[in-house]
Amino acid sequence: MKKKLLWIALAMMMLVALGACSKKSDTDLAKESVEGFMTALGELKIDDAQKYVLEKDKDALKDDDFMKEMDKPENKFFVDILKSAKFEFKSGEIKDGAEEGKLVYAITAKDMMSIISQSMDDILAGKSEEEIMAGIDVSKMEEKTKDVEIEVKKEGDSWKVADPETIMMEMSGVGGMADLMEGGE
């Protein structure tokens, strides 16, 4: 009888321990949201990307004109750039129970600065915007990796990306241009 009770007690302890192990931390849940957003954005699944941003930012992700005209050279160019972007978690921890936090990801994207001289030559040669965009081979563009601090906030029971614009700019390769305009890097 004592052995039976001991086995039942051990089984109960194992069940409790397994339940505690499977609970994800706030850091893990926030990382899932950030990575879900970046994956959906890279695949141009805007409806999916909207699930990972704050309610106030959902409409900012919709650009119906862009989505309808993805075959235009200038839009296809940005589609190809977004699809080629990669990301990797670097650092950051969110204390369980916190309402906001920051995670750092290394984002590798095509370097838009690498095509400026080529584009300037084309502009001086009198080429149209369509001709210039059609002549750029995204696969041959240089890549740049940058550590990006991503803000996350809790909305209801879910972690959400608090600044999707920063991620979109970095993944599309124009984050460096924004830094230059602000007098940064």
- Structure confidence by residue, pLDDT tens digits, 29-81: 999 999 999 999 999 888 899 999 999 988 877 765 556 666 676 677 778 88
* pLDDT over 70, % of the chain: 75
CA pair distance 111, 173, nearest whole angstrom: 5
Q: Is the CA virtual torsion 35, 37, 39, 41 positive or negative?
A: negative
- Whether domain 24-113+143-181 has CATH 3.10.450: the reply is yes
Residue matched to tokens 């001289």 = 117
The whole-number pLDDT of residue 36 equals 96
Q: Where are the domains of the chain?
A: 24-113+143-181
CA pair distance 34, 30, nearest whole angstrom: 6
pLDDT at 16 over 70: no
Residue matched to tokens 């001991």 = 6
Confidence bin at 99 (pLDDT 50/70/90) = very high
Confidence bin at 173 (pLDDT 50/70/90) = confident
Nearest to residue 141, comparing CAs of 176, 104, 116? 116
State pTM to two decimals.
Answer: 0.75
Residue matched to tokens 């080429």 = 127
15-24, 66-75, 158-167 — most confident range: 158-167
CA pair distance 148, 151, nearest whole angstrom: 10
pLDDT at 131 over 50: yes
> What mean pLDDT is reported for the chain?
81
CA pair distance 73, 60, nearest whole angstrom: 23
- The torsion region of residue 143 among left (phi > 0), alpha (psi -120 to 50) and beta comes to beta
Task: Reduce the secondary structure of the chain to three states and give it as a string.
Answer: CHHHHHHHHHHHHHHHHHHHHHCCCHHHHHHHHHHHHHHHHHCCCHHHHHCCECHHHCHHHCCHHHHHCCCCHHHHHHHHHHHHCEEEEEECCCCCCCCEEEEEEEEEEECHHHHHHHHHHHHHCCCCHHHHHHCCCHHHCCEEEEEEEEEEEEECCEEEECCHHHHHHHHCCCHHHHHHHCCCC
